[in-house]
C-alpha cells in the first residue's frame, strides 16, 4: 500500500494540467538549447519577434506558482485565523464570548504563554547588542559577572567585535567552535565546527536541505505521519513527493523499520526515488522519545538504502520521563562505528525549543556530516545567497550549547530556572495527558518528550455526519467547536496527517501551570456537551 500525500486545494487538477502543459512546452522549447554561461553571455538573434505576443498575466491564484498553492501549514491555518478574529471581538466587545481570553495551544511558543527567558542568556545578548556598556561601572550592578565575561569572550570571537556585520556564511567561527564543543560534550564523539551551519531557526535549514535534494516530483522524502507540517510544506514548495511512513499509535507512536521498508518499496515501485528519511525525535506532534535500539535500526536502514538521514532533534532537552533519554543520531551512528563515509546525516537544532524556548530569536543550526566536499560547497553556496543568519540567534545557539557551569556566578540561578521550567512542563504534560485520557471516547499518548499531546478522539458518527454537512474534516469540526466554546486553540490532526478514518488534535503543554485546572475543566465540560449532542 502506498499513500500519496499531497496537501491540496480546490482546482488542483486544473493546476496540474496547466503545470504539465508548461513542462511539455518546455521540452519543445528552443530556450533549453540556448543556455549560455553568465560570463560570456551569448546574444541571440531574434528577428522572429512578436510571433507569440504572450503578455504577462495578472497575478492571481491561476497564475502563481502552483507549488505555493499546494503547500499547507495548519499550525497557522484557518483555526488560528478564527482565533485571532475572536480575540479582536473580545477586545472590542468584552463579554461577547463565553470566555475571557484565547488560549493558544496550537504552537510551541512558550514565551507567548508567559514562560520567562533564561536570565543568563538574555544578559549576554543584551551586552552583545550594546558593547559600549561593558566597561561601565553601573554594568557590574546590573549584570552577572560571568555574563559580562561571556559577552567579552563572544565579542573577541567576532572579527572587529562587530555584532552588526554579516558573518561567515556558516556563522561566526568562534561560535561554531563553542557549539561543536557542546555537541562533543553531549555525545562523547568528536564534532567539527566546519560541519556546523548556523541558521535563522531550524525551518530555513530544513528548507535548504529540501532544496538541495529535491529535483522533481520523482524525488521522494520519507516522512513520519503524523508529522510536523514544516516537512509537508517544504516538500510541496520544492516540488518533491512526500513518502509517508506511519507511526504506530498502538505502541506509543512507535517507529517501525518494517513500515519504513514497506513504504520505501512502494515508493520505488511507483518510480519515486527516495532521497532522505525524516525522523523527529523527540516526536512532534506525537511526543514519543525513540529507544536507542530503534535508532540503531534506523541508522542501519538509511545506510543500507543510501538515504540521507534528516534528524529533527530540536526537542533534545525536552524529555519528561526517567525511563527515556535523548540520544543524537550522530552519537548512535558513531557508536555503531559508522563515520563520514557511511552515512549522510543532518541534525537540526533550534533555540526555539528546549527549556529556553527562544522562538522569537530565530536561532539554530544544522550539523552536516557524511557529504562529499563538492556537495558541501553547494550547501555553503546556498547559505551564502542569504549572506548569514542573524547574529543574536547565532550567539544564543552557542549559549544553549554551552550554558553556565557549576561554579559560575550564574549557575545557581540558571539551574533553578532550567529545572523549574522542565519540571513544570513535565507536570503540565501529565495533567493534560490525564485529563484527555479521562474524556469519553478519547485515548491519549504518553507525553515522553517535546511539547505536545496528540490525543485520539473516537468521534460519534453523528458528529462526523455533521462535519461533512458543513464540508469540514471531523477533527477540524471538533476543534472549531472547542475554540468557539472555550477559547482554547488546538490544531486538528488532519494538519499533521493521520491514519485515514482516525481523528486527533495536537495540544501544546505550554499554558501556564496555574491555568491548567481551568483549561481541564473547560475542556471537560465542552467535551461532555459535545458528546451529549452527538452521541450515537
Tell whether residue 92 is a contact of a copy of itself (CB under 8 A): no
Q: How far is the CB of 19 from a copy of itself (least distance, A)?
A: 7
Buried b (16+ CB within 10 A) or exposed e, 24-50: eeeeeeeeeeeeeeeeeeeeeeeeeee
Interactions with a copy of itself, residue window 459-478 (CB under 8 A)? 473
Q: Are 259 and 294 in contact (CB under 8 A)?
A: no
Among 180, 183, 223, 230, binds a copy of itself (CB under 8 A): 230
CB of 437 to a copy of itself, least distance (A): 26
User: What length is written for the chain?
Assistant: 536
DSSP summary character for residue 46: -
Residues in contact with a copy of itself, shown as a per-residue x/- string from 331 to 350 under the rule CB under 8 A:
-------------x------
Task: Quote the least distance from Cβ 438 to a copy of itself, whole Å.
Answer: 28
194 sits near a copy of itself (criterion: CB under 8 A): no
94 touching a copy of itself, by CB under 8 A: no
Residue 57 or 322: the one with the smaller Cβ distance to a copy of itself is: 57
**386 touches a copy of itself by CB under 8 A:** yes
Reading the block at residue 245, the C-alpha cell is 511512513
The SS3 call for residue 449 is strand
Q: Rule CB under 8 A: is residue 2 a binding residue for a copy of itself?
A: yes
Neighbour count for residue 280 (Cβ, 10 Å): 27
The CB density around residue 60, as the number of other CB atoms within 10 Å, is 7
CA distances to 171, 299, 389 from 364, in Å = 10, 23, 9
Smallest distance, Å, CB 449 to a copy of itself? 20
Contact 367, 311 (CB under 8 A): no
DSSP structural state of residue 251: G
Residues 415-454, one symbol each (x = binds a copy of itself by CB under 8 A, - = not), give ----------------------------------------
Strand partners for 492: 505
Of 337 and 500, the one with the shorter C-beta distance to a copy of itself is 500
Tell me how far, at minimum, the Cβ of 385 lies from a copy of itself, in Å: 5
* Distance of alpha carbon 265 from alpha carbon 27, whole angstroms: 30
Q: Of 209, 153, 143, 146, which Cα lies nearest the Cα of 177?
A: 153
End-to-end CA distance of the chain: 32
Alpha-carbon gap, residue 175 to 399, rounded angstroms = 9
114 binds a copy of itself (CB under 8 A): yes
Binding residues for a copy of itself restricted to 485-524, rule: CB under 8 A: 494, 497, 500
474 vs 489: CA distance, rounded Å: 16
How far apart are CB 326 and a copy of itself at their closest, in Å? 23
- From candidates 85, 96, 216, 528, binder to a copy of itself by CB under 8 A: 216
Binders of a copy of itself in range 310-329 (CB under 8 A): none
C-beta of 410: minimal distance to a copy of itself in Å? Answer: 13
**Distance (Å, rounded) from C-alpha 510 to C-alpha 159?**
39
Quickly list DSSP for 250-305: GGTSB--HHHHHHHHHHHHHTT-EEEEEEEESS-TTT-----HHHHHHHHHHHHHH
Least spacing, CB of residue 391 vs a copy of itself, in Å: 4
Least distance from C-beta 292 to a copy of itself, angstroms? 25
The answer to whether residue 535 forms part of the interface with a copy of itself (CB under 8 A) is no
Query: What single string gives the DSSP state of each residue in 411-428?
Result: HHHHHHHHHHHHHHHHHH
298 contacts 277 by C-beta, under 8 angstroms: yes
Helices (H), 355-410: 373-385, 391-400
Pick between residue 56 and residue 406 the one whose CB is nearest to a copy of itself.
56
In this chain, which stretch among 215-223, 251-259, 438-446, 452-460 interacts with a copy of itself, using CB under 8 A? 215-223
The least distance separating a copy of itself from the CB of residue 317, rounded to whole angstroms, comes to: 15
With CB under 8 A, what is the number of residues at the site for a copy of itself?
Answer: 160
Give bridge partners of residue 222 from the DSSP assignment.
243, 277
Among 279, 280, 314, 391, binds a copy of itself (CB under 8 A): 391
Confirm or reject binding of residue 111 to a copy of itself (CB under 8 A): yes
Question: Which residues in the 125-144 window bind a copy of itself by CB under 8 A?
Answer: 125-127, 129-130, 132-133, 136, 138-139, 141-143
Choose between 44 and 470: whose C-beta lies nearer to a copy of itself.
44
Spell out, one character per residue from 170 to 189, where the chain touches a copy of itself: x when CB under 8 A holds, - when not: --------------------
What is the C-alpha separation between 289 and 302, in angstroms, rounded? 19
Instruction: Tell the smallest beta-carbon distance from residue 528 to a copy of itself (Å).
Output: 27
**Joined grid coordinates for residue 252:** 506509543
Pick the binder of a copy of itself from 148, 214, 444, 491 (CB under 8 A).
Answer: 214
Q: Is 262 exposed, middle or buried (0-12, 13-18, 19+ CB in 10 A)?
A: middle
Residues of this chain, 28-87, that bind a copy of itself according to CB under 8 A: 29-32, 34-46, 48-61, 63-69, 71-73, 75-76
**Residue linked to cell 496550537:** 106
Instruction: Kindly state the cell numbers that stand for 229.
Output: 507540517
Q: How far is the CB of 402 from a copy of itself (least distance, A)?
A: 18
The distance of closest approach from Cβ of residue 434 to a copy of itself in the complex, given in angstroms and rounded to an integer, is 27
Per CB under 8 A, 266 contacts a copy of itself = yes
> Applying CB under 8 A, which of residues 327, 353, 362, 418 lies at the interface with a copy of itself?
362
Whichever of 250 and 385 has its CB closer to a copy of itself, that residue is: 385
- Shortest Å distance, C-beta 445 to a copy of itself: 21
Q: Position of cell 552557542? A: 398
Amino acid at each position: 500500500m502506498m499513500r500519496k500525500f499531497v496537501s491540496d486545494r480546490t482546482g488542483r487538477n486544473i493546476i496540474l494540467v496547466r503545470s504539465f502543459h508548461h513542462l511539455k512546452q518546455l521540452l519543445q522549447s528552443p530556450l533549453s538549447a540556448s543556455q549560455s554561461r553568465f560570463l560570456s553571455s551569448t546574444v541571440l538573434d531574434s528577428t522572429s519577434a512578436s510571433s507569440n505576443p504572450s503578455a504577462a498575466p495578472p497575478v492571481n491564484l491561476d497564475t502563481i506558482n502552483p507549488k505555493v498553492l499546494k503547500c499547507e501549514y495548519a499550525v497557522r491555518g484557518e483555526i488560528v485565523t478564527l482565533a485571532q478574529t475572536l480575540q479582536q471581538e473580545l477586545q472590542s466587545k468584552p463579554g461577547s464570548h463565553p470566555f475571557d481570553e484565547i488560549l493558544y495551544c496550537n504552537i510551541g511558543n512558550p514565551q507567548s504563554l508567559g514562560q520567562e527567558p533564561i536570565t543568563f542568556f538574555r544578559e549576554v545578548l543584551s551586552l552583545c547588542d550594546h558593547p559600549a556598556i561593558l566597561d561601565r561601572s553601573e554594568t557590574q550592578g546590573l549584570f552577572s559577572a560571568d555574563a559580562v565575561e561571556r559577552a567579552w569572550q563572544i565579542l573577541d570571537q567576532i572579527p572587529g567585535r562587530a555584532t552588526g556585520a554579516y558573518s561567515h556564511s556558516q556563522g561566526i567561527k568562534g561560535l561554531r567552535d563553542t557549539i561543536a564543543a557542546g555537541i562533543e560534550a553531549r555525545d562523547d564523539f568528536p564534532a567539527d565546527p566546519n560541519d556546523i551551519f548556523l541558521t535563522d531557526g531550524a525551518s530555513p535549514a530544513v528548507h535548504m536541505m529540501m532544496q538541495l535534494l529535491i529535483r522533481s516530483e520523482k524525488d521522494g522524502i520519507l516522512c513520519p505521519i503524523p508529522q510536523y507540517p514544516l516537512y509537508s510544506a517544504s516538500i510541496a514548495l520544492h516540488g518533491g513527493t512526500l513518502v509517508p511512513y506511519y507511526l504506530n499509535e498502538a505502541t506509543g507512536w512507535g517507529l517501525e523499520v518494517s513500515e519504513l521498508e514497506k513504504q520505501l518499496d512502494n515508493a520505488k515501485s511507483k518510480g519515486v526515488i527516495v532521497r532522505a528519511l525524516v525522523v523527529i525525535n523527540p516526536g512532534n506532534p506525537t511526543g514519543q522519545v525513540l529507544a536507542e535500539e530503534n535508532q540503531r535500526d534506523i541508522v542501519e536502514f538509511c545506510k543500507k538504502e543510501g538515504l540521507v538521514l534528516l534528524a529533527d532533534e530540536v526537542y533534545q532537552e525536552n524529555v519528561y520521563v526517567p525511563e527515556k533519554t535523548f540520544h543524537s543520531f550522530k552519537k548512535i551512528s558513531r557508536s555503531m562505528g559508522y563515520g563520514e563515509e557511511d552515512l549522510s546525516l543532518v541534525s537540526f537544532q533550534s533555540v526555539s525549543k528546549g527549556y529556553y524556548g527562544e522562538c522569537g530569536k530565530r536561532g539554530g543550526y544544522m550539523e552536516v556530516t557524511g557529504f562529499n566536499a563538492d556537495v558541501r560547497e553547494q550547501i555553503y553556496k546556498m547559505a551564502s545567497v542569504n549572506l548569514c543568519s542573524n547574529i543574536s540567534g547565532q550567539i544564543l545557539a552557542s549559549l544553549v550549547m554551552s550554558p553556565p557551569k557549576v561554579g559560575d556566578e550564574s549557575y545557581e540561578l540558571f539551574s533553578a530556572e532550567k529545572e523549574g521550567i522542565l519540571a513544570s512542563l513535565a507536570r503540565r504534560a501529565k495533567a493534560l495527558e490525564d485529563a484527555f485520557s479521562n474524556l469519553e471516547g478519547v485515548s491519549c499518548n504518553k507525553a515522553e518528550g517535546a511539547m505536545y499531546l496528540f490525543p485520539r478522539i473516537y468521534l460519534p458518527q453523528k458528529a462526523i455526519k455533521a462535519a461533512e454537512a458543513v464540508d469540514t474534516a471531523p477533527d477540524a469540526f471538533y476543534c472549531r467547536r472547542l475554540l468557539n466554546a472555550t477559547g482554547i486553540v488546538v490544531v486538528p490532526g488532519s494538519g499533521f496527517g493521520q491514519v485515514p478514518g482516525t481523528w486527533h488534535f495536537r495540544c501544546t503543554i505550554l499554558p501556564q501551570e496555574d491555568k491548567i485546572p481551568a483549561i481541564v475543566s473547560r475542556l471537560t465540560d465542552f467535551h461532555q456537551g459535545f458528546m451529549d449532542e452527538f452521541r450515537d
